[in-house]
Amino acid sequence: MNCENVKEQLPEWLNEQLPAAERAVLDDHLAGCPDCRQELNATRQLWQRLENIPTPEMRPEVRTQFYAMLGTFKAEETARQRSRWTALVHRLLPWWKPQAALRLAYSLLLVAVGVAAGYGLQYWQMPPLAYKQQIDTLSAQVVEMRQMMMLSLLENPSATERLRAVSFTKDITDVDGRIIDALLTTLNNDPNVNVRLVTLEALVELAGDARVREGLVQALTRQESPLVQVALADVMVQLQERKSIKPLRQLLRREDTNDLVKAKLAQTIRELS
């Protein structure tokens, strides 16, 4: 053992933590080395004297102050715990460890997979969106078929079939230009008076459309049948269509117009103007 080793063991020696065997070796060295002996003794003396430095007493107020602080803290804490989230976080925080994070992530993943699988299964069994699209497509096809059928039925030689065709327009929700044209053509050209009357009725339903109103006004001069003429005149009053006054006057001046119809036309003109 040399003097360097002695210095290394100084702290344990001071604290009296040095194992007995090592202490014996140290004492051996000290016996034969006055330098070390002197140094260690000086150090030990100082170490022991340190103990003489007194620690003053605390003032008793410190205890009172501590309990006051504790009371305030507790009051603040209960106030804070009213928002339960903070309390939950405080409770959970000590449990927060990296392994726990991994486990939590794993369980969340499992839940997510479960939810995804559940949704997937539902879609697979009854996909609502595709279903709805299919229904939409089908209903659009049905409407189109009705229109087609109506248009072709209007060409049918049988007056009954043509009547049916006109009655279809009531079931067609969005009437397009083709149907209006077909109806106006029927109104002007159909050989059967009944068909023309029904067509007129159907067109009155669609009078919101400007083309329909115009077509009706133009139809006035083209009609030969007194029945249709009177019906048209009524419609003009009903729609309060002032543009019809001119064709009504033309019709009134025509020699081949029925007298009864003329009386009706005169009345209509009066009502409109």
The answer to whether 172 and 143 have CB atoms below 8 angstroms apart is yes
Separation in Å, CA 92 to CA 98, 106, 123: 13, 18, 38
- Helix ranges (H only) for 126-176 are 128-154, 159-168
Q: How far apart are CA 222 and CA 219, in angstroms?
A: 5
Which residues, including other chains, have CB under 8 Å from residue 183's CB and lie 6 or more apart? 166, 169, 199, 202, 203, 206
Q: How far apart are CA 171 and CA 147, in angstroms?
A: 10
Q: How far is the CB of 26 from another protein (least distance, A)?
A: 14
Which CB sits closer to another protein, 39 or 161?
39
Which CB sits closer to another protein, 58 or 126?
58
Summarize as ranges the residues that interact with another protein (CB under 8 A): 7-8, 10-12, 14-15, 17, 42-43, 46-47, 49-53, 55-56, 58-59, 62-63, 65-67, 69-70, 73-74, 77, 90-91, 93-94
Q: How far is the CB of 61 from another protein (least distance, A)?
A: 8
Q: How far is the CB of 126 from another protein (least distance, A)?
A: 49
Which CB sits closer to another protein, 42 or 110?
42
Q: How far is the CB of 83 from another protein (least distance, A)?
A: 15
Q: How far is the CB of 91 from another protein (least distance, A)?
A: 8
Which CB sits closer to another protein, 34 or 94?
94
Which CB sits closer to another protein, 91 or 270?
91
Distance from chain centroid for Cα 42: 84
Sign, Cα dihedral of 149, 150, 155, 157: positive
